[in-house]
Amino acid sequence: MEVIRSQKRTASNDVVSNPKIPLYLTAPPLEVRLEEFELFAIDRLRVLKGVSDGLARGKNPKEMDDVVDALWKEHMRHSDASEMLNKDIISHFVIRLVYCRSDELKKWFLSMETALFRHRFRLRNFEAQRAIVGEFGLPYKAVTGAELESLKERLGQVVRSLGQISPSVVNDICCVSVCFFSFLSFAVEAVYYKVPFEEVPDLVAGRRVLIQKGHAFVAGSQLVSLVVTQFRSHISKALILTNRKWMTTIREREKDRLTPIVEALSTTYVGPDYSQSSEYADISLKDIDQVSKSSFPLCMRHLFEKLREDHHLKHGGRMQLGLFLKGVGLKLDDALAFWRAEFSKKVGSERFDKEYAYGIRHNYGKEGKRTDYTPYACQKIISSAPGAGDHHGCPYRHFSEDNLRAALGRMGLSSRGMEDVMDKVRNKHFQLACTLTFEAVYGTSCDVGINHPNQYFEESQKILKSKTPAAPV
């Protein structure tokens, strides 16, 4: 294999000290052995799957940095630094080929590669980060002089509103003894970039930047947002082009060599989406009340109870519960009967047929562009934004402590069990809280962790059916 002689190897093999993160702009002219083609890809998939798991468990950004660092060291390390870079690049392009072939695969690949890039970027020091920003060739300039002066006060307000001590303060202060926790100094950072607000949507959404006349003032420590947006946009476009190339030339040309490997690689790592009902998910209307008490996770139980109580749910609730019920095995006709029975009590069956039936049929892929929508996973539910009059979302995240305790009490949790759950909630580990609830309710351990409401339902049904095989549960 042709070895590419790159820059001088550094003594340490530590990935953090290797500044380069490739941007995967063009496929490099390397020769790859067929075995490496598959092996490199599998190693990278292990990293991407680990990222996916970490995100599903609701890990915060700092924890994700550590997760990515560990995963990279475990699976992508090579004794030769330039070999490591080659493996990085080759594995990315192989997986891109594998995952360009359907919308669902593309979406997963894009999310995971972007998250991977984000955390690898965060692990680099400021100089390395600036170098990477430079490689994108963005035209944004640092703010200086009079303009910076005029913004200083409000920039300071932004820093203080985020409630953390600016990291540059810690760097600037050479004398450690000054860093007493009682002395909170919210200094403005040294470098700010003036960027159109469209380039940093996540910073805008979180009110983490000052915005003026359409420009966002991005701190050096926030550069990651800027580059991640660019990176994602580029990979997204690249996926479309790769798909086209695959469909028109590569698949046929490689049908005896690469194509079988590519097709096998994709089925390994897509998690179940619960769009097809399994043997454990096949309920009928008459069982639904009982099953809601015995096997629904808290989020769905709450929605179900509110529906029975108010004879209505707003759109977010109808989507979250409706798709869950579909995943649980409720057929379209039964679903229509179920929702009509409830809604007619409030709005009348005529209005139900006019205004709500369409939506239910739409969820089952019988209207519009006929997409068969998949039930929401925990990640999506946790990140939703229930507003006035809504009951969807994740109770572990969206309920006040009192309401959550009351709800858990109704599920039968002991006070000891409740404390464990509330502890997880306080630390923002919502899915772990739900897992603990599961374990407490069914008296069993759930090693794999809950990351999908339908998973909770199926696991619950498995346990209940194994206890009383004949009776309906």
Partner 1 sequence: MFITSEFTTARNLFPYNDIHKWLSYGHDGKHPGCDEYYFGRREFSFTLENDVYLRYKSFKSASALEHAIKSCFPYKIDIGAVYSVDPDKRHAYSQTGTNVFTPVERELVFDIDITDYDDVRYCCSGADVCSKCWPLMTVAIKVIHTSLKEDFGFKHILWVFSGRRGVHCWVCDPKARRMTNEQRSAVAEYFRVYKGNENNARKVALMGYSLHPFLARSYVDFLKGFFEGELQANQSIFSTKDKYDKILEMISYEDIQSELREKWEKSANRSSLSEEAISLVRWEQLKNTLQSKKHKAPTLRMCVEEIVFTFTYPRIDLEVSKQMNHLLKAPFCVHPKTGRVCVPIDPNNCDEFDPLAVPTLSQLIEEINSGGSKMGVDDDDDDTDSSLLGKSIKFFRSSFLGPLLKSCKEEIENSYKTKIGKSKDSFSW
- List contacts with partner 1 (CB under 8 A): 154, 157-158, 160-163, 184, 186, 197-198, 201-202, 204-207, 210-215, 315, 354, 369, 385-391, 395, 398-400, 402-403
Smallest gap from Cβ 125 to partner 1, in A, equals 27
Consult the annotation and say whether 179 binds a ligand: no
Say if residues 416 and 341 touch (Cβ distance below 8 Å).
no
* Contact (CB, 8 A) for 216 and 209: yes
Closer of 158 and 307 to partner 1 (Cβ)? 158
Residue nearer to partner 1 on the CB measure, 11 or 205: 205
Is 378 annotated as a binding-site member? yes
Q: How far is the CB of 387 from partner 1 (least distance, A)?
A: 6
Give the closest residue to 186 by CA, choosing from 152, 141, 146, 143. 152
Residue 400: C-alpha distances to residues 373, 377, 396, 432 (Å): 30, 22, 9, 18
Beta carbon of residue 217, minimum distance to partner 1 (angstroms, whole number): 11
To 5 degrees, how large is the angle CA 446–CA 301–CA 390?
A: 125
Cβ(208)–Cβ(102) below 8 Å: no
* 434 annotated as ligand-binding: yes
Q: Hey, what are 174's tokens? A: 């050479």
CB of 40 to partner 1, least distance (A): 29
Q: How far is the CB of 146 from partner 1 (least distance, A)?
A: 19
State in angstroms the smallest separation of the CB of 382 from partner 1: 13
Q: Classify residue 214 as exposed, middle or buried by CB count within 10 Å of its CB (0-12, 13-18, 19+).
A: exposed
Ligand-binding site membership of 100 (annotated): no
Q: Cα Rg for the chain, rounded, in angstroms? A: 26
**Cβ pair 338, 324 in contact under 8 A:** no
Integer Cα distance of 341 and 456 in angstroms: 26
Q: Which residue's CB is nearer to partner 1, number 157 or number 427?
A: 157
Binding residues for [4Fe-4S] cluster: 299, 378, 394, 434
Binding residues: 299, 378, 394, 434
